[in-house]
Amino acid sequence: MKNIDLVEGKVAFIDQNKLPHVLDYVVTDDYLVIADNIKRLSIRGAPAIGVSAALGIAVTIQRMEEESLANLQKRFGEICDFMAVVRPTAVNLSWAVNRIRKKMESSSPKSVEEFKRILLQEAKDISQESEDESRSMGLFGASLLPDNCRVLTNCNDGMLCAVSYGTAAAAWYVAKEQGKQIEVIACETRPLMQGARLTAWECMYNHIPVTVCTDSMAGYAMAQGMVDVVMLGADRIALNGDTANKIGTYMLALLARAHGLPFYVVAPTSTFDLTIETGREIKIEQRNPEEVTHCGGSRIAPEGVSVLNPAFDVTPGTLITSIVTEKGVIHSPFTNGKIKSHCLG
């Protein structure tokens, strides 16, 4: 099953705001519907946002009845401008929009039909490449998972953040295809509960045994011998391996170290920021306090209380056993040179 697909000239995607209660696909050929769903987080995760934006623009252009190439190009430019800023911090969004924009410039189509055909192909290529990348991460990641492996993870780094497979989850999906028994422990991932809502749902949907626990139970689970491996995604990785990821990741890395468990990060090479030497240069975004004061639609904490709400934390590269990308596995210790040659080589 795919999270995002092209079906009879339209984009079909899972409405994640309805999960885990209802599996519902939205099917649309309107970029405005895609944009709205990216804003409402019913499409989330870097690869999913980029691919759905590219496909959304392409299918919108397909059904336009402009007779002049110039007019079509004008509308295309306007739609790209609009789409690129729907979520300002989503790097993959502007990356995907820029890629199709550059493609249309460099390929100089001579007709409306040619313009439409090249655009659709480029959007399909972006989608396919994203899927291939997930599949590669899955193959390399699966090589780190023995048979009968119990993997603890947080947030959602699965098919729901990508076209299919995802990043960290790709490893256990591929391992399962290879005939290995894999079990997942999904930390719920307060404040937004992506682990309990999304990772639990997609594991069940894909017949991977999954157990949900609160984030505070990870240490207990390790001490009880319930965990073999910690494996999760990344938002940004520095040249020394320092990794920004969902809040709570740093804590899991310390717990894994204390229990002698391997701690694996799975992310495409596009996640590496080759301009920063260490994690100290990563600015940590503070999000809306209401995410912490509320849960399940209800207020939990007193009115007016102070709140911490960092979106992510930084795990030192020294706590990470290996980083898996679509190109292979980088083992610790991580160095500037090792990471650069992996990403650029």
| Active site amino acids | 235
Contact indicator for 164, 132 with CB cutoff of 8 Å: no
Measured from the CB atom, the residue of 151 and 221 that comes closer to a copy of itself is 221
- Determine whether 22 is exposed, middle or buried from the number of CB atoms within 10 Å of its CB (0-12, 13-18, 19+): exposed
Contact indicator for 318, 332 with CB cutoff of 8 Å: yes
Options 164-172, 182-190, 264-272, 328-336: segment touching a copy of itself (CB under 8 A): 182-190
196 lies in the site for a copy of itself, by CB under 8 A? yes
Could you give the string, one character per residue 107-146, with x where binding to a copy of itself holds by CB under 8 A and - elsewhere?
----------------------------------------
Could you give the string, one character per residue 33-62, with x where binding to a copy of itself holds by CB under 8 A and - elsewhere?
------------------------------
Residue selected from 297, 337, 344, 345 as contacting a copy of itself according to rule CB under 8 A: 297
Options 53-61, 81-89, 123-131, 199-207: segment touching a copy of itself (CB under 8 A): 199-207
287 lies in the site for a copy of itself, by CB under 8 A? no
Could you give the string, one character per residue 212-231, with x where binding to a copy of itself holds by CB under 8 A and - elsewhere?
xxxxxxxxxx-x--x-----
92 Cβ partners below 8 Å, 6+ apart?
46, 47, 49, 50, 270
Reference 213, options 201, 221, 224; nearest CA is: 221
Contact indicator for 325, 140 with CB cutoff of 8 Å: yes
Measured from the CB atom, the residue of 56 and 158 that comes closer to a copy of itself is 158
Could you give the string, one character per residue 258-277, with x where binding to a copy of itself holds by CB under 8 A and - elsewhere?
x-------------------
Provide the residue type at 178 as one letter: Q
Instruction: Name the DSSP class of 210.
Output: E
Options 74-82, 160-168, 286-294, 328-336: segment touching a copy of itself (CB under 8 A): 286-294
Closest separation between CB of residue 265 and a copy of itself, Å?
16
Measured from the CB atom, the residue of 20 and 328 that comes closer to a copy of itself is 20
For residues 207 and 240, give the distance between their C-alpha atoms in angstroms, rounded to a whole number: 37
Closest separation between CB of residue 312 and a copy of itself, Å?
9
For residues 153 and 160, give the distance between their C-alpha atoms in angstroms, rounded to a whole number: 15
25 Cβ partners below 8 Å, 6+ apart?
12, 13, 14, 15
Options 49-57, 76-84, 296-304, 325-333: segment touching a copy of itself (CB under 8 A): 296-304
For residues 188 and 197, give the distance between their C-alpha atoms in angstroms, rounded to a whole number: 8
Residue with tokens 């929009």: 97
For residues 187 and 208, give the distance between their C-alpha atoms in angstroms, rounded to a whole number: 15
Q: How many residues bind a copy of itself (CB under 8 A)?
A: 58
Measured from the CB atom, the residue of 19 and 51 that comes closer to a copy of itself is 19
16 Cβ partners below 8 Å, 6+ apart?
41, 42, 43, 44, 160, 198
Closest separation between CB of residue 250 and a copy of itself, Å?
5
Interface residues with a copy of itself (CB under 8 A) are 20-21, 154, 185, 187-191, 193, 196-197, 200-201, 204, 209-221, 223, 226, 247-248, 250-251, 254-255, 258, 292-310, 313-314
